[in-house]
Amino acid sequence: AIDRARQLFGADYANVQPHSGSSANAAVYLALLNAGDTILGMSLAHGGHLTHGAKVSSSGKLYNAVQYGLDTATGLIDYDEVERLAVEHKPKMIVAGFSAYSKTLDFPRFRAIADKVGALLFVDMAHVAGLVAADLYPNPIPFADVVTTTTHKTLRGPRGGLILARANEEIEKKLNSAVFPGAQGGPLMHVIAAKAVCFKEALEPGFKDYQAQVIRNAKAMAEVFIGRGYDVVSGGTDNHLMLISLV
């Protein structure tokens, strides 16, 4: 499972033990932050995830969470706002990722902003990991200090989590210790076996065809809704999901 995960995403490091995406994210915070450190993540109301600093989540209770959002006129991430907030608040970590955003993340811009303020860049690619694996969405591995994903969304595997990174012995040791014994007990070997099968399937040529069809389907559905007069956020989709504004 580890070898296949590394091969699939071009990573040097993989930890296949997290039971979920949320537990993978919690392990990243535990490994690389101290309680009270500032994190800059996407607002839940604008398409972020609970674990990116929402006040009802442990990520918003244990850390000083600052939130960025979308340009409401375009439905796109306001990277100038991200940079302004980063300069103002000097976060220890910037979180890039989403649970509801239909356009492509600009990982080089996030990396540049993180470097400008000396922050770590953490990417949660849970919702688009299958597209990344199929080379149909930008791979965050070259830009991020650490990347997490689930294995049960577009990767179409078992319910579980995964942590990936480039080679960095210090970070790797911290991540391993944060997963076990820091955040979890023993690994679920039956789930890890299923993850290995999932990664093998994703390495097959047919997986790219499947993911390409997923994107075509999403774009077609967005076009139909737009044609019927609905307000599709950001004017369409680059990935597998679309959002309709009900405001």
Q: Is the pLDDT of residue 47 over 90?
A: no
165-187 average pLDDT score: 97
- Residue 53 confidence class, pLDDT cut points 50, 70, 90: confident
Count of domains observed in the chain = 1
Does residue 88 lie in a domain region?
yes
For residue 123, is pLDDT > 90? yes
Lowest mean pLDDT segment, chosen from 29-33, 70-74, 191-195 = 70-74
Phi and psi at 11, nearest 5°, equal: -100, 155
The reply to whether 159 falls in a domain is yes
For residue 45, what pLDDT is reported? Answer: 84
Give the H or E element holding residue 142.
Answer: none
Is the confidence at residue 54, as pLDDT, over 90?
no
CATH of residue 168's domain is 3.40.640.10
Would you say residue 20 lies in a domain? yes
Q: Is residue 46 pLDDT above 90, yes or no?
A: no
Residue 175 lies in a domain: yes
Q: Is residue 119 part of a domain?
A: yes
- pLDDT confidence of residue 214: 98
Would you say residue 85 has pLDDT above 90? Answer: yes
Q: Which stretches does DSSP call E strand in the chain?
A: 13-15, 38-42, 64-68, 70-71, 76-77, 93-97, 120-124, 146-150, 161-165
Q: Would you say residue 90 has pLDDT above 90?
A: yes
Domain housing 136: 2-202
User: Is residue 241 assigned to a domain?
Assistant: no
Q: Look at residue 156 in the predicted model and tell me its pLDDT.
A: 96
Give the mean model confidence (pLDDT) for residues 129-155: 98
- Asked whether residue 224 is assigned to any structural domain, the reply reads no
Q: What is the distance between the alpha carbons of residues 94 and 86, in angstroms, rounded to a whole number?
A: 8
At residue 153, what are phi and psi to the nearest 5 degrees? -95, -115
- Residue 191 within a domain: yes
Instruction: Give the 3-state secondary structure of 192-238.
Output: HHHHHHHHHHHCCHHHHHHHHHHHHHHHHHHHHHHHCCCCEHHHCCC
Confidence of residue 48 (pLDDT cuts 50, 70, 90): confident
Radius of gyration of the chain (CA): 18
Residue 135 has pLDDT above 90, yes or no: yes
Backbone angles phi, psi at 33, to 5 degrees: -125, 165
Amino acid identity, position 25: N
Rounded percentage of the chain residues whose pLDDT exceeds 90: 91
**Mean pLDDT over each residue of the chain, to the nearest integer:** 96
Q: pLDDT > 70: what percent of the chain?
A: 100
